[in-house]
Each structure stands twice: as structure tokens, then as C-alpha cells.
Amino acid sequence: MQLVGISLSPYFERAVITLDAKGALDEVELKLPTANFGTPEAKAVNPTGKIPYLLLDDGSFLPEGQVIAEYFNDVIDGPSLMPQDPVQAAKAKLLCRTIDLYVGPYTTPLARTITRGVRDEAAIAHALSDGLPFGIDLLESHITGDSFAVGESFSLGDAALIPHMFHFRTFLKEFNISVFEGRPKLTAWWERHKESDIVKKSHARMMASLQFLIERARAQKEQAAAR
């Protein structure tokens, strides 16, 4: 199996964290995409033109970070990241879905100010005034575990939250928005996990991939200017 994407993508990184939590980082090859997002070449492999996607050994592929993470959880040995109890399992899935529907779309325009040097002012204003405050409030209400995001052990809910903490810390800095203020459960969860091996390794991968993208954009700009 080959997992295609880049760690700065929280959808890709969720799947990588799932592998790490199962002690299986060496069981799946991680590959950078060869085609630019959204191009015909990218869409020839994954019709959305997005990353991540998983190339399976039978020649087919699986898109969508959450689908890939659940697939890894099902087929790879190691501790299950889905709670046994159906209610807790539903709550873990709820947290993942909330991130995908109500948070991820609003960090994207902020991230693009750094990764692509693009400022979509209308999208940024909407993310700051409505999208992110609402989405992060939902996270606060869906964190129900004492030590972990939900249930009593590390789950796909934690795996989905961790990469977004990198995005919050890196891309919200420039903007006047507080992630933790008035959100005691999110604050306590982060305080408990921020020094864990899984978080430190994940955020180091994400920082390395951010630096790679910034450097690549700089080199492309220089090449274009020299032409």
C-alpha cells in the first residue's frame, strides 16, 4: 500500500497518526504526490484532484483521510482506535466528521496565505468571524473523554484533532482569534497531549512539510522570475 499526500494536510496526517498509534509506520509507504492539485494528471488518479489517497495492492485506490484512517484501523494489527462501545464509537466518528465539515474548510484560506501566498479576503473574513468560532465551539462540545478526546483510550477522534492543532497554532497566529479561550475541554485535552510522542512526531512532520512547501514555492518563484 502507498499513502499519497503530504503531512501538512491534516487529512493525510490523520492517517499517518493512525499508523503511528498502531505501531505500523513502516507498513505503508508514504509518497509525495507527483501531480499538482486539481490538474488533469491528479484527477486521473483521484477524481477530486486532492490528497490524500491510498493506492491499494489490488490496483484500486481509496480517497478521503477519514476513510483511509478507518481502513488502516480495520486491517492493520495493533490497538483499535475505535472504541468498543457503540456510543463512544459514534462520538469518535462525530468528532472526526465535525472537523471535516465545520473546521477544516475554514483553516484552509488561512493556511493558503502562507503555503500559496494567496489571500482570499472574503473567505478569511468569514472563517474568522463565523466558520472557525462555530466549528471550534462544536469541537469543545464533542470532546467528552476525561483523558482522551472521547472514551478511555486514544481514538480516531484524537488522531483527527492533533493535525488541526498544528494548523491552529501555525496559521491562526497572524489573526486575532483565540482557540482556547472559553473552551476548557479543548484546553485540558491539549495540555494533556501536547508533549506526547505522537503529537511531537506529528507536528515535526507537519513543520518539515510546511518548510518544504515554502521552499518549493520560493524556488518556483525565482525560476519564473529568471525566465
Contact set with ligand GSH (CB under 6 A) = 9, 11, 37-38, 49-52, 64-66, 100
Pinpoint the alpha helices (H) of 194-226. 197-226
Tell me which residue has its CB nearest to ligand GSH: 50
Shortest CB 50 distance to ligand GSH, Å: 3
Comparing CB distances to ligand GSH, the nearer of 52 and 157 is 52
CA dihedral (208, 135, 197, 13) positive or negative:
negative
Q: Looking at this protein, which amino acid is placed at residue 170?
A: T
- Residue 76: which region, alpha, beta or left (left: phi > 0; alpha: psi -120 to 50)? beta
Q: Least distance (Å) from ligand GSH to the CB of residue 66?
A: 6
Instruction: Give the residue among 108, 130, 103, 129 at the shortest CA–CA distance from 119.
Output: 108
Residues in the chain: 227
The set of cell numbers assigned to 89 is: 464509537
Task: Give whichever of 9 and 18 is closer to ligand GSH, judged by the CB atom.
Answer: 9
Tell the smallest beta-carbon distance from residue 36 to ligand GSH (Å): 9
Is cis: bond before 79, omega within 30 of 0?
A: no
Query: Closest separation between CB of residue 118 and ligand GSH, Å?
Result: 12
By beta-carbon proximity to ligand GSH, the closer residue of 33 and 145 is 33
Our CB check for ligand GSH shows the closer of 52 and 109 to be: 52
